[in-house]
Structures are given as C-alpha cells and as structure tokens.
Structure 1
Amino acid sequence: MEDDDRLGQAGTIRSAARKVSGRPSRQAALECVMHETIAQAQRGNRMLMIQGTASSAGKSTIVAGLCRLAKRAGLRVSPFKPQNMSLNSVVATGGGEMSRAQAWQAFAAGVDPHTDMNPILLKPNSSIGSQVIIQGRVACTLDARSYQQYKPIAMRAALDSFRRIRAASDIVFIEGAGSPAEVNLRHADIANMGFAEAVDCPVVLVADIDRGGMFAQVIGTLECLSERERARIAGVLINRFRGDLSLLKPGIDWLEAKTRKPVFGVIPYLHGLWLDQEDDLPAERSTRAAAGKAFMVVVPALPHLSNHTDFEPLRAHPQVDFRYVRAVDPAPAADLIILPGSKNVHADLLWLRQNGWDTYLLRHLRYGGKVIGICGGMQMLGRELRDPHTIESSASIERGLNLLNFITTLQPEKRLANVSGKLLLDQASVCGYEIHMGKTHGPALQRPAIRLEHSSEDDDAMPCYDGAISADNQIFATYLHGLFDAPAACCALLEWAGLKNAQCFDHDHRRQASIDQLADVMAKNINLNALWSAVQR
C-alpha cells in the first residue's frame, strides 16, 4: 500500500497539525448473486458506505458481515472508516495504531489490518478532548472545538488513505460514524455524508429496531439531510428484529412508500455472537447466572478505560463469572482483580481512590487474592506516576498504589509494537501488542512476567523481558494487551489466579464462528441482488 508514500503524507499532516478466512457455508447462494459482476467490480473498484440512524445501530457488525460475504465470493475486499472515536485500538500489521473495529472487519475480510483502513482515530482523554491519531501515529491532542478547525487536514489524510485502499481492492465497505443527522457537525463533515460526497459513494442507512422508534429514526434522519444527500441513500437495512416478520411487513411497505427508499432486508436479533465492541462496555454486568459458584474476575470500569477487548476471552470463558464494577456498584468478593488499560492514568488513579479501590485491593491481597495490571493498570500498581511533560495532568507526580516497587515516567513518544513471547509462570506462549506512552523502571522488574521475542517493528529497541511478578506471587503486571487471547496463556493465568483445572478456551475460534454465523444470516435475510446493484451504480 505504498508505505513510503503513506509515511511521508502522514508526516506532512502531523506538521500541519502542529501549526493549527471464512468457511464456505451459503457460499453458493452468494456466488450466484455476485460472480456475474466480479469482473466488473475488479475493474471498477466498487464501494458502499454503511451509515446509521444512531450510534450503535450495528454499522460495524454489518460491515464485518458484508466483508465476509464478499470474501466468500472471491472478491478482494477491504473495510474502511475515515474517522473513528474509540479507546479500543490495536497495532496494525507493519506498525501504527488503528481502531479495533476495523481490525476485526479486516479479519472478516481475510486481510491484514492496515492503518489506511482507519486513517483518523480519536482517543478521548478527557470529557472534551482527544488524542488525534493520523494514519497510525499521534499527530496532536485537541479539544472538540479545535478539532472542528482541524478537520480539513484530517480529510486530506482520509482521502489519501482511501485512494490506496480502493486501488488495492475489488470492493470497499465504508463505515460511517454516529449518525449523518448531526446537523451541528455537518460543516466540514469527514465521517458520514461529507466523505460519501467527496468520493461519490452510495449509502445504505441502518436502523436498530430493537431500540424502538425505528420508523421515526429513518424518517427523521432523512429529513435532516439535504436533498442531494437524501438522493445518495440507496436504501435501508433494519437491524436486530425480534418477532414475526409478517407483522412488520405493513410497516415496511409504509416506510418504502413514504421515503421512496427500498428496504434491502431485515436482520434478526442474533444471540450469542462474540464480536469485539467498538467502544462501549458490554451492557451486562455479570456473564454467569451461577455467580456464587463460578470463578469471579472483577475489573473496575475506569472512566478512561481503554482496550476492554482484552477481556473478551474471559467474558466468554465457561468457567468464569466476569464483572465490570461501576462507580455506583459495591465491589464484590473476587478471585482475581484486573486493573485495565487507561487513556488517562492520573485521572483513573484518583477515581480508584475516590471509590475505595485502594482499600479493596489491600484487603483482597491480604486474603490471598490475585491481581493483574495491564498497561495503565500496571503503571497504577507502582510507587509513582511521573508526568514531566504534562501529557495527562498538570500534576508532575501522582502517588501510585505502591503495590510494586517501580516508577513510571510518561513520555511524548508512544510505543507501538506487536509482540510475542512466553509467560514466566509456566512458559505458555503469549502474543499481543503494546500501546503506551510510559517507561517503567525499578527493582520490581527484576522479577519479570513475560520473556519477549523480538518484534519486526523494532528489533533493536525491544526489551527481552516485560512486566513484573511480585515476590509473594500474588501480583502480575504487564504492558501486553491481548494477554488472554492465546488459549494456553489464558489457561495458565487462570490457574495461577486459583482456578483449578482451567479449560483452554479458544476465543479466536469463537469469533471466527460468530462472523460466519453473521454472514450466513445476512445472506439469508438481505436482498443481495438489490444491494449489489447499489454498489454498482
């Protein structure tokens, strides 16, 4: 994807900012719809944008399903999202940071994740400000009003990345952000209709019927658009339907007559799918009914919690009762407490103290419980967090939880690396990625948690070891995200924490099966002939 050109372009943009594998099930059914037009698609670089009537309408999931369907049909397919706001990110193949959502869409498409798939990533670090990631690298930190002025620069990066993605693909499925009905943000829009118009792309509107008010969602969204923007809407998809479809049919007929837009399909509510959340924490607070009998894992729901997808293998594990604990909830008795990553470690340390977690952790350890700290959670476990460059706070030093003897100093440069190695608990293989802006030093690191292999991103800079294990073997700290993804590592960590006869549970296999299930259901419930015609227009 012309990496040298991309890096040069990203450098120019950052400078300007400173101045301002699926299985073949149902494959035959899809191929009969799509194979006749594959040759045309390969010549025409087709594209379709999926926008929603609201956030969480299902845009990310539908793009993933479409990517898997196109992959099954033999097309070179790529996801793309010009702008994403999320604290769930990964290190892309070849380096650079991108949204987790586009990474698992790439997984559905059968291609490696690349930062060009998500050229603009906003990572909120306060109620009004975000770190701005341009084509995989930190460009600046801006408040919401300043970012509006910055958008022309961001659009330049988005179009630059899209040019490369489109050239390398037979078809591109583009995901919008939030809703195109946000009229206050229409000026210089780069996430929805502004981008669709810039690349002359047809749009399908997704509405979530499970929330209620679906007809008003669609009508209201169309009314908020200009006449030219409404003309760009090729049709509607209704998502998360429960019940008897025949009872919905009169409403669909009314909606099509009222809007003069076809409804391409009604996707039923799918239970039991395990697909990575783009940003919001899962709604449920406990994943097991027999809470008192299962192995209890607790994670504080920090205000700036990042990369909560680290815990999806635990949420899905059949032997684990996993809970996020909000500020209003009392912390339950737990077998394992995990301090997660954070986009603002200073603020989240204060939140922990304000909500009594410092006392709770000491009591938990006194009675033999285990603690894991990941990335920002690891930094919190030390004696001090130093911020001489005021990256997160005006306070240059913040007192840590003082459970491990080390000090972390925040640095302007972010470390981004895909890594692998062995747990020093039992030599189980582990793989993941590092995304952090701190350097940690101190005696506790003489008892490391993981032995790392060199990564392709920075062989010379990669340390041989990561993290720390406390002398009493009760605390495990690491910078590694994706700690539980490898089945053997997850099993080893649960057994270390006290779960006897832990099952090795393959979460990646379940994720793959979920994407296939999603694609199967979409193939059955969407008029693919009509949808493909919209792509070709």
Structure 2
Amino acid sequence: MSENLKKAKCIAALGTGSDVGKSVIATALCRIFSDRGYKVAPYKAQNMSNNSGVTPEGLEMGRAQIVQAEAARIAPHVDMNPVLLKPVTQVGSQVVLLGKVHKDLSAAEYHREKAKLWDTACGALDRLRAANDVVVLEGAGSCAEVNLMARDIVNLKMAAYAKAPVILTADIDRGGVFAQIVGTLACLNKAEQDQIAGFIINRFRGDIALFKEGVDWIEKKTGKPVFGVLPWVNHHIPNEDSVVIEHAVAKTDPAQTPTVLVVRTPHISNFTDFDALFQVEGLGVNFVEHPRDLSAYKAVILAGSKSTRSDLNWLAKTGWTPKIKAYVKNGGHVLGICGGYQMLGTKVHDPNGLEGIPGDTDGLGLLPLETVLKAPKTTTISRFEWDSTPGLGYEIHMGRTASADRIASSKAADNGLLNVKERNQQTCTDFDGTMADSGRVMGTYMHGFFDSAPILKKWLGLLGLNKLEPPESCGLQGRNRQYDMLARHFETHVDVPAIVNAME
C-alpha cells in the first residue's frame, strides 16, 4: 500500500445481522492501520441512529464514525457518514445529508431519493480514498436482507463500488453461528458471494481450542477462511445502536448499590452520554421503561430525545410524570440533557410542526422555562465551565429554552448552569442550562456532560456520592486507552496479515 496510490485500498466489515460487532471490528481496524503508519479513515455510507455527534466544523454525523475517526487518530468529517437517518416515527426519519438537515422523509419517500443519495455517498467515499491510504467501510444490519438489497447503498453494493473485500462478522454469543454464516451466503448470488473474503466470529465465550472443529467446518463448507475468533471482552467503546440499552435494563438493586436511573423514553437519543457513568466503580446505571418507586435511586436522568413532545406525552400517559414530580418533592435529584432538559420546563412550543402537528405540550414544570422548537439546528462542540470546573461537550438541538419573558423578547440569558466559553473553536460568552431546588433539578443542552472527570466528580458530590471516583481518564484520553486495548485484543486473535493480503 504505497502512499503514492491515487485511491486508498478499502476493506469492508459487514454483518450477518444487527449488533454482531461490525462497528467494533471497524474501530479495531482503524487503530491497527493507524498504528502501522497508514493514513486511515472510517466510512459508513448510510447510518440509521439517533446517536449522533458534531464535527469540528459544526456538522452532524453518526457517533460510531466519530469513534472510528478517533481510533484512526484523525478529525471526524461528514464524508465518513454522508447519509444519517434519525428515526422520528415508526415509518419516517429526519435525513441529515453531509452534516446538514435535508428533510423528513417517510420510508417510501426515502427510497425514491436513493439515486441522489447513492451519488452523494459515492462522492464522499471518492474524496476519502483520494486523501487516505486505507478506508475501512462499515455495513448496516444484515448484508443479506433480500427484500432490501436492490435499494441498499451501504452494504455489498458500496463494497463493490469501493472494490473492498468483505469481512463477514457473525455473533456466536446469540447462537446459530453456522446458520448465520451459511444462511447469509445462501441469500447471495455468486458475484455477491465472491465479495466475501472471509469471516470473523465475534463474542466467543469459553475455550477457543474447543471451537477448532467449528472453524474447520465453516472453512470446508464455504471455501472461505475464518480470519479469527474473537473472545468476549468487556470494552468501554461507545456503542452505535440503542439495542445495547437492552443489556442495561434495571440490573442493579438501588437498595444495595448507589444507582442512577435513566428513563428509557421511546425516542431516546445520544445514550452514549452515560458511558462514563458505567465506568464509575460502585455506581449502578439502570435504563428503565416502566414507572416504579424512585425513592431508592440517587438520581433520575431524562436523556436526549428525537421527539420531545411525543416523549412528554408518553411520560404522562405511562405514569412517569407524577412519579418524577413526587421524587423531586421528596428530595430526589433529576437531570435533563437536551430533550430531557426541554421536558423539565413548563411548556414545549412547536409552532412550525417540526416534530409533527404544530402545537404546545405541557412539560414537567420542574424548571421555570419554556422551549420553542425552531430551525436551524444548533450543532456545536462546546467548552464550558460549571462553577469554574471545566468541561467539553457538544450540542445538537432545534429550539431555544429560556424563561417565558426572555422567550417573548428573544433576549439572551444573563446567567445559567454552565458558562459557555467556546463553540466550534470560536470564543464566546454565553450560558447554558439552569438549576432549581438548590441544585436538585438541573437541565443542560450539553451532550458529553460526564466525559470530563472533574465535571463527573462534581455531579457525584452533588448526589452525596463523594467517595465514588470517576475513571482515571475520561473522554478522549480514556477512549484512546480502550482503542489500544481493542487493537491488541484483535491482533491476538485475528489474522491481520491475511486481511491485508485480501485488500491487496
């Protein structure tokens, strides 16, 4: 792989299904190629996720490719995820094109625009290939969804365009790994089967030596190599899909372990805001869907939402609203982030119908604020201070939250929970968020609020958990350690030279 090549070599990590480990494998490859001196970039043509982040230019893209860019030691760029779909209903999504909101489309409308989106995605990949030595492609879901393949722009069709050999990833922990692999191949035509260079079997538990016969059977049956069998490993690399929340359903007993509860609303977004909490030894984090007695929890958190008004109605309908209000009245701590911050106010106004039918929705009334939803979307990387404690986060939201009189007059806030010092590398003097009830109710637009260890330590102290310590390194420093650990784990169990040979 000479640095003088006009087009970067490509490798694609596709899967037998959702949540089989494609993102983690792509992340590992990005760090490994970076370690070997290559200029490497990640790429996912189309990402469907409400878990997004912000580039240094202030544009929006999927968090998974931001993570992979960090692993590759480069700044994230929207060419790495040119099409981002953010589901807003069961049948429609907000389409973010090259980092900017394009429009809301139903599934049928989206498919009618596929030709334009394909051209956009190919152009982004071409630019990445011109500027790098290696591009690591990631697929979406299963690469063998026969009813969708004719319109698919992210799996085998894109791998063919990139001339990228495909690593097919299967998850042995969910069972049926032989059927996953052989069944996937059986759904493909001969040309598509020929794109598959080999397999990685992910999340193996037990003695790998006992699976040798399984590897031999797969290789004999398919005529393709198993590049490696990856043992199960607990890593703290941010996840792409909300399916990971399934594994964080209330498992900690708050009567036995200090625990915070995250309300699992139907349109929850940016759940990676809580990754740092999972790394605090001695702290439990439970995602909970159904209302329950909250008295034993140290804090209740309302996360970001892709549909604030809809989730507010859901809180009222399911009985969460009176539970949360009673919890605060009895001395409990509540934190709202982004959409959760909007929910804590008295009203959410949507005059232009950005989230559906125009109108107003009552908030929880725990903060003396109102929100007006309006375009354009705010997307910033922001430096801030909380009572002189520094932090770094990012903002992605539509609308403005302020007291009723300031909403009416369009005046800027003259105080707030956070002092914002910088947005998108531009110095500013601004405020974000607010608090009430002596700090027991707090709201902020700042995603990544807990990624700065001093901020996390301060918040834990507010809950009376002074003895709990944040991990030694939060944020990018901590994630870099995880990328290194993942790369070494991958190299130990996967034939990386064989993957490089396949690329050649």
Q: What residue is the counterpart of 1:31 in the other structure?
A: none
Are residues 1:440 and 2:401 paired? yes
Following superposition, the deviation at residue 258 of structure 1 comes to 1.6
Q: Equivalent of 1:507, from 457, 468, 474?
A: 474
Following superposition, the deviation at residue 286 of structure 1 comes to 6.4
1:82-97 map, 5 Å: 82-97=45-60
**CA–CA separation in structure 2 for the residues paired with 1:116 and 1:122:** 15
Q: 1:429 to 1:54 in 2, by over 3 A?
A: same
On the 8 A contact 1:325/1:331 being kept in 2, the answer is no
**CA–CA separation in structure 2 for the residues paired with 1:286 and 1:295:** 16
Question: Which SS does the other structure have where 1:420 is aligned?
Answer: strand
Q: Letter of the aligned partner of 1:121 in structure 2? A: L
Q: Equivalent of 1:295, from 229, 235, 258?
A: 258
Q: Letter of the aligned partner of 1:435 in structure 2? A: I
Unmatched tracts of structure 1, length 5 or more = 1-37
Q: 1:291 to 1:371 in 2, by over 3 A?
A: closer
Q: 1:515 to 1:485 in 2, by over 3 A?
A: same
Following superposition, the deviation at residue 412 of structure 1 comes to 2.5
Q: What residue is the counterpart of 1:119 in the other structure?
A: 82
Are residues 1:266 and 2:266 paired? no
Per-residue CA deviations over 1:81-104 (Å, capped at 9, x if unaligned) read: 111111111101212101111111
Question: Which SS does the other structure have where 2:119 is aligned?
Answer: helix
Are residues 1:449 and 2:417 paired? yes
Moved more, 252-261 or 88-97: 252-261
Q: TM-score under structure 2 normalisation? A: 0.94
Question: Which SS does the other structure have where 1:126 is aligned?
Answer: coil
**CA–CA separation in structure 2 for the residues paired with 1:75 and 1:155:** 27
Q: What residue is the counterpart of 2:287 in the other structure?
A: 324
**CA–CA separation in structure 1 for the residues paired with 2:135 and 2:250:** 35
Question: Which SS does the other structure have where 1:311 is aligned?
Answer: helix
On the 8 A contact 2:255/2:296 being kept in 1, the answer is no
Moved more, 119-128 or 403-412: 403-412
On the 8 A contact 1:101/1:276 being kept in 2, the answer is yes
Moved more, 245-254 or 203-212: 245-254
Q: What residue is the counterpart of 2:341 in the other structure?
A: 378
Q: 1:330 to 1:371 in 2, by over 3 A?
A: closer
1:80-479 map, 5 Å: 80-270=43-233, 272-280=234-242, 281-285=244-248, 291-327=254-290, 331=294, 333-424=296-387, 427-442=388-403, 447-456=415-424, 464-470=430-436, 472-479=438-445
Per-residue CA deviations over 1:361-413 (Å, capped at 9, x if unaligned) read: 22211221111111111111111101111111214111111111121111131
Per-residue CA deviations over 1:43-67 (Å, capped at 9, x if unaligned) read: 6511111100001110000011111
Q: 1:454 to 1:247 in 2, by over 3 A?
A: closer
Q: 1:330 to 1:395 in 2, by over 3 A?
A: farther
Q: What residue is the counterpart of 1:20 in the other structure?
A: none
Per-residue CA deviations over 1:402-428 (Å, capped at 9, x if unaligned) read: 11112111113111111111003xx21
On the 8 A contact 2:46/2:84 being kept in 1, the answer is yes
**CA–CA separation in structure 2 for the residues paired with 1:267 and 1:422:** 41
**CA–CA separation in structure 1 for the residues paired with 2:272 and 2:288:** 16
Are residues 1:482 and 2:482 paired? no
Question: Which SS does the other structure have where 1:333 is aligned?
Answer: coil
Unmatched tracts of structure 2, length 5 or more = 407-412
Identity of aligned residues (%): 38
Q: What residue is the counterpart of 1:516 in the other structure?
A: 484
RMSD between aligned residues: 2.0
Q: 1:333 to 1:446 in 2, by over 3 A?
A: farther
Q: Letter of the aligned partner of 1:184 in structure 2? A: N
**CA–CA separation in structure 1 for the residues paired with 2:392 and 2:422:** 12
Q: 1:198 to 1:43 in 2, by over 3 A?
A: closer
On the 8 A contact 1:273/1:514 being kept in 2, the answer is yes
On the 8 A contact 1:239/1:268 being kept in 2, the answer is yes
